[in-house]
Amino acid sequence: MKTTTVKDVRKLNRSLILKEFYFNGPVTRLDVSRVTKLSPATVTNIVTDLLENGVLVEEGNVESSGGRPSVLLKVNPDLGYFIGVEIGESHIQTELFDIYFSKTTQYAINDLELDLSPEHLIDLVADSIGQVLRSANLKETDILGIGLGLPGIVDPESGISIFSPSWGWNNINLSELLRRKIAIPIYIDNGAKALSVAELLFGQGQGVDEFAVLLIGAGVGGAIVHNDLLLRGGSNSAGEIGHMTLSIDGPVCRCGSKGCFEAFIGANHIFEEFGRTKDEPQPRLENRELMKKIFSNYSNPDSKERKIIQNSIQYLGAGIANLINIENPERIILGGWLGILYGEADLDLIKNVVKKYALAQSYELVDICVSNLGAEAIPMGSAAMALIDFFENVNQEDLMVIGGNRLKQRN
Amino acid sequence: MKTTTVKDVRKLNRSLILKEFYFNGPVTRLDVSRVTKLSPATVTNIVTDLLENGVLVEEGNVESSGGRPSVLLKVNPDLGYFIGVEIGESHIQTELFDIYFSKTTQYAINDLELDLSPEHLIDLVADSIGQVLRSANLKETDILGIGLGLPGIVDPESGISIFSPSWGWNNINLSELLRRKIAIPIYIDNGAKALSVAELLFGQGQGVDEFAVLLIGAGVGGAIVHNDLLLRGGSNSAGEIGHMTLSIDGPVCRCGSKGCFEAFIGANHIFEEFGRTKDEPQPRLENRELMKKIFSNYSNPDSKERKIIQNSIQYLGAGIANLINIENPERIILGGWLGILYGEADLDLIKNVVKKYALAQSYELVDICVSNLGAEAIPMGSAAMALIDFFENVNQEDLMVIGGNRLKQRN
DNA sequence: ATAATTAAATTAAGTAGTAAAATAAGTATA
DNA sequence: TATACTTATTTTACTACTTAATTTAATTAT
């Protein structure tokens, strides 16, 4: 945000203070003042505002040891709920979160048909949302926002799915399609970018200035976060690391190019290599159970599986090293169901390969780790996009409609 | 910069207004108000300040066609000068710029000895600065700042050369060494990053939100600019694209790793390939004349030179494509003496190779071009680091010492 | 029980932004 | 020449930050 006026400063500081109460609450005004470096006067001023509007509530006092006891405050737990939806190549996972992001209920659709129209997809999403609302006994007005995370290139501003590799769409306004069915603010982004939001707020990205997330599953995606801000590039495709060239004369990728990162480390490659050894028909890309079975043989030193996975890790490490050389991040987070399997199988080997290919100074800084949010972090991250907007835009205007009939839509 | 207080806003707006007068001056207060979106009242307020302190001067009126005639203002051309120093693997190029960055005089040292101590290097730099001061008949107090651009990883905050590939140094505080000899504020950074500053302020990066610069010469470096800010990563090595892996089993690079970008496209590789065909001893890396001769045969369709260069362009294109996939920039600027040769030889071929390896959506957005600042843009960019600091820190405190005895040092 | 001490929260004076009204400095015209 | 019109700049009233001073609400000591 550009801050040229005092009003911009107010908005920024309100958000800063609110985040502090959210993530570290209950805390006192003076605690917040110390952490945010804002003056106690300013904290009092903004807190008064937030209290009047019901965003914060008091929660008892801190025991005094001489002196006026300080009041503990926290974000009002009854403000509302968030819904996050992961749209995968073959499944839809819908989850409901309370204000503090405890998962309250969920609904899954698996084995989506292969050629799905945008309208049909949005019907399924709307149905899923209806399902979780019913099972939690909530109304639309109880939900502060719905986030969607999907494959491909997405423009969050307009709500348009610019390009979907899974279904071959171009320029479909999914946001608009869903808005016609549901009167809740909608947030939409690429799945890897949604995942990075989950990591930033609740996972391994907390407090890390520069990090990148790898989303490895059926396909390979990524996202880069710099000072709490997602890098989007000029047209929202920054971080799309899956089709980086690792071998100029390598095998042809499903994208048409040659020697892509994804072609070496994606589910497709592993299944193909595995299939080749067993002469079975190739399994569906999202077959996580089969993949787990393959990885369970990694510990067997003479297994074919171990050799296949170790070979892929050579490329995984080289790809991570390229990302490290270009971005110089402090942390790389391995996410996605297959990314987590890789990391859990042999993180040390991954690190050693990265070390081989990365600049020494950049390798020294970076910490490579596995996501601790599990394979299901995309719905959480999607919902968290709505939480970020809540932090940034809880201002006088919006506050008046909290709990009422929010018609304001982001897209 | 974090803007939590009204004083931060003032500093930011002062810088915004000053830049507008600098790059578009002479202009009127109202022009600046329109472009910066700041209110006329604020512009008047800040301009009054800058006028009183001699940073701005009036330059006549705009002819009125009814209404009060507006006053034209510009940055005072007599505020001072800047010095930029490029420290290369085998040369030192020192240039003096007036406030508007017209090159006033220069001094070159070529064929540096191969193993140079930091102290000896700084002696040579200080001598060079003395030379340009003498030939322009200026005193140290006439210079607003000195910028140094050098190979390797540099920490601009501390002034330390963290790692120098050319001379094998680690953690040398060059800034401190030079400060002992010269009482002018010193700014220091990696050469590719300095180049990107020149492109941002005076070259092909002007007005472009997301761009990357490739510095191709004896070695290969790079820098990424995002919303007018250089991306540094966690330890100042972001953008160091030269040792990105393009072929996991490729030839060994001088860095020790295998299949590096630099090993395929750097001067070393071209000379090696060329030498192989002629059985001559390998020329020194900085032999620009020989390289120009090689490239001059590119237009000959059957020449060995054309084949060598076209082969390197395959890798150059793949490397640029990787950068594009990760960063999604709007523009890629080819710089450095060898980078300019590549671009002038066959920009169309480069673009076609990039197209082959990049995501279609990212390729569609990006514009690949050749630097128009020439092969000598690093001294300019180095000096421009001081200009940026001038924009950002011309505030009450600093203004009082302009033209006087500035002892304030950045590092 | 009252006074002193301590620490939290609030109020006050100063600075810097905006929007809107007022003023300034011209040209055009009756 | 005087009035109307235009356009640039400045002043005014209001908001939101800071630091410093004050008020508030407890504990501790006499």
CA B109, chain centre distance (Å): 20
**Burial environment of residue A348 by CB neighbours within 10 A (0 to 12, 13 to 18, 19 or more):** exposed
- Residue A300's Cβ-side half-sphere holds a number of Cα atoms within 13 Å equal to 10
Q: How far apart are CA B37 and CA B40, in angstroms?
A: 9
Mean pLDDT computed over B201-215: 97
Closest Cβ opposite residue B153 in set A234, A321, A361 = A361
Predicted pLDDT of residue B209: 96
- The single-letter DSSP state of residue B296 is H
The CA distance from B362 to the nearest CA of chain A, in Å, is: 7
A126 and A178 in contact (C-beta within 8 Å)? Answer: yes
Q: Which chain A residues are closer than 8 Å to B328 by Cβ?
A: 232-240
Q: Which chain A residues are closer than 8 Å to B361 by Cβ?
A: 153, 162-163, 235, 237
B27 backbone dihedrals φ, ψ, rounded to 5°: -135, 170
What are the C-alpha distances in Å from A196 to residues A88, A224, A230, A362?
16, 8, 8, 21
Superfamily covering domain A81-196+377-399: ATPase, nucleotide binding domain (3.30.420.40)
List the one residue out of A264, A1, A127, A162 whose CA is nearest residue B328: A162
List the one residue out of A258, A267, A215, A247 whose CA is nearest residue A318: A247
Question: What confidence category does residue A45 fall into, taking pLDDT thresholds of 50, 70 and 90?
Answer: confident
Question: What confidence category does residue A376 fall into, taking pLDDT thresholds of 50, 70 and 90?
Answer: confident
Question: What confidence category does residue A407 fall into, taking pLDDT thresholds of 50, 70 and 90?
Answer: very low
- For D5, nearest residue by CA–C1' is B66
Sheet holding A143-150, edge to edge: A103-109, A92-98, A81-87, A143-150, A186-190
Q: Top-level CATH class of A6-75?
A: mainly alpha
Smallest CA–C1' separation from A39, nucleotide? D18
Mean pLDDT computed over A22-45: 88
- For residue A296, say whether its CB is under 7 Å from any atom of strand D: no
Smallest CA–C1' separation from B47, nucleotide? D9
Q: How far apart are CA A204 and CA A97, in angstroms?
A: 20
Q: How far apart are CA A326 and CA B366, in angstroms?
A: 18
List the one residue out of B96, B62, B148 whose CA is nearest residue B410: B148
- What is the bridge-based pairing of β-strands A186-190 and A143-150? parallel
Q: How far apart are CA A115 and CA A89, in angstroms?
A: 10
Cα R_g (chain A), whole angstroms: 23
* Test mutation, A237, A261, A315, chain B, max B CBs within 10 A: A237
List the one residue out of B105, B87, B81 whose CA is nearest residue B95: B105
Report the share of chain A in percent with pLDDT over 70.
93
Nearest CA in chain A to B4: A9
* Distant-in-sequence, close-in-space partners of A273: CB < 8 Å, separation ≥ 6: A308, A311
Cα R_g (chain B), whole angstroms: 23
B134 and B72 in contact (C-beta within 8 Å)? Answer: no
* Test mutation, B240, B241, B260, B364, chain A, max A CBs within 10 A: B240
| Helix (H/G/I), strand (E/B), else coil: B237 | coil
CATH number of B206-370: 3.30.420.40
Nearest CA in chain A to B322: A244
Nearest CA in chain A to B323: A326
CA of A199 to C1' of C15 (A): 40
Contact A245 B9 (CB under 8 A): no
Smallest CA–C1' separation from A43, nucleotide? C9
Q: How far apart are CA B48 and CA A164, in angstroms?
A: 54
Q: How far apart are CA A32 and CA A24, in angstroms?
A: 9
Whether A206-370 and A81-196+377-399 are alike in CATH topology: the answer is: yes
Q: Which chain A residues are closer than 8 Å to B151 by Cβ?
A: none
Predicted pLDDT of residue B399: 42
- Residue B369's Cβ-side half-sphere holds a number of Cα atoms within 13 Å equal to 15
Closest Cβ opposite residue A244 in set B240, B248, B322 = B322
Contact B5 A9 (CB under 8 A): yes
The tokens of A213 are what? Answer: 């997330």
CA of A50 to C1' of C11 (A): 19
The tokens of A87 are what? Answer: 């749209």
Task: Give the residue ranges of DSSP H helices in B69-222.
Answer: 118-136, 174-179, 191-202
Question: What confidence category does residue A48 fall into, taking pLDDT thresholds of 50, 70 and 90?
Answer: confident
Q: How far apart are CA A198 and CA A381, in angstroms?
A: 4
What are the C-alpha distances in Å from A201 to residues A23, A383, B281?
9, 11, 58
Q: Which residue has the tokens 């409609």?
A: A401
B205 and B213 in contact (C-beta within 8 Å)? Answer: yes
The tokens of B390 are what? Answer: 């001038």
- For residue B3, say whether its CB is under 7 Å from any atom of strand C: no
- For D28, nearest residue by CA–C1' is A66
Check pLDDT > 80 for residue A409. no
Mean pLDDT computed over B391-397: 69
Q: Which chain A residues are closer than 8 Å to B322 by Cβ?
A: 244-245, 322, 326
What are the C-alpha distances in Å from A207 to residues A15, A210, B28?
16, 9, 45
| Predicted confidence (pLDDT) per residue in A139-189, tens digit | 999 999 999 999 999 999 999 999 998 888 899 999 999 999 999 999 999
List chain C nucleotides near protein: any atom < 7 Å from a Cβ: 5-12, 14-21, 24-28
Contact A234 B357 (CB under 8 A): no
Mean pLDDT computed over B358-367: 95
Check pLDDT > 70 for residue A403. no
Predicted pLDDT of residue B276: 63
- A301 preceded by cis ω (within 30°)? no
Q: How far apart are CA B248 and CA A259, in angstroms?
A: 10
Contact A362 B235 (CB under 8 A): yes
CA of B22 to C1' of D1 (A): 44
Q: Which residue has the tokens 């600093």?
A: B398
Average pLDDT for chain A: 89
Q: How far apart are CA A204 and CA A372, in angstroms?
A: 7
Q: Which residue has the tokens 């102290």?
A: B119
| Predicted confidence (pLDDT) per residue in B9-54, tens digit | 888 888 899 999 999 978 898 888 988 888 888 988 888 888 888 8
What are the C-alpha distances in Å from B2 to residues A12, A117, B56, B152?
10, 45, 27, 29
Q: How far apart are CA A369 and CA A340, in angstroms?
A: 9
- DSSP for A143-201, written as a single string: EEEEEEEESSEEETTTTEEEE-TTT--EEEEHHHHHHTT--S-EEEEEHHHHHHHHHHH
- How long, in residues, is chain A? 411
Mean pLDDT computed over A289-295: 90
| Residue A346 one-letter amino acid | D
Contact B234 A16 (CB under 8 A): no
How many C-beta atoms surround the C-beta of residue B199 within 10 A? 28
Q: Which chain B residues are closer than 8 Å to A361 by Cβ?
A: 153, 162-163, 235, 237
Domain ranges of chain B: 6-75, 81-196+377-399, 206-370
Predicted pLDDT of residue A354: 96
Predicted pLDDT of residue B401: 38
Predicted pLDDT of residue A254: 78
Smallest CA–C1' separation from A17, nucleotide? D17
Q: How far apart are CA B232 and CA A326, in angstroms?
A: 10
- For residue B235, say whether its CB is under 7 Å from any atom of strand C: no
Q: How far apart are CA A331 and CA A322, in angstroms?
A: 14
Closest Cβ opposite residue B237 in set A9, A323, A361 = A361
- For residue A6, say whether its CB is under 7 Å from any atom of strand D: yes
Q: How far apart are CA A262 and CA A221, in angstroms?
A: 9
- For residue A41, say whether its CB is under 7 Å from any atom of strand D: yes
The tokens of A278 are what? Answer: 């067993």
* Distant-in-sequence, close-in-space partners of B258: CB < 8 Å, separation ≥ 6: A357, B245, B247, B248, B249, B250, B251, B252
Angle, helices A304-327/A288-296, rounded to nearest 10 degrees: 100
List the one residue out of A411, A373, A369 whose CA is nearest residue A101: A373
The four Cα atoms B236, B241, B244, B247 give a dihedral, to 10 degrees, of 180
CA–CA–CA angle B75, B78, B82 (5° rounding):
90
Q: Which chain A residues are closer than 8 Å to B360 by Cβ?
A: 163
- For C16, nearest residue by CA–C1' is B6
Contact B359 A328 (CB under 8 A): no
Q: How far apart are CA B252 and CA B238, in angstroms?
A: 22
Average pLDDT for chain B: 89
Classify A153 in phi/psi space as left (phi over 0), alpha (psi -120 to 50) or beta.
Answer: beta
Highest mean pLDDT among A232-236, B52-56, B86-90, B270-274: A232-236
- For residue A28, say whether its CB is under 7 Å from any atom of strand C: yes
Closest Cβ opposite residue A12 in set B3, B356, B364 = B3
- The single-letter DSSP state of residue A244 is -
The tokens of B26 are what? Answer: 């002479």
- For residue A251, say whether its CB is under 7 Å from any atom of strand C: no
| Predicted confidence (pLDDT) per residue in A217-271, tens digit | 988 999 999 999 999 999 999 999 998 988 878 888 877 778 889 999 998 888 8
Q: Which chain A residues are closer than 8 Å to B162 by Cβ?
A: 361
Q: Which chain B residues are closer than 8 Å to A246 by Cβ?
A: 245-248
| Helix (H/G/I), strand (E/B), else coil: A30 | helix
Contact A248 B246 (CB under 8 A): yes
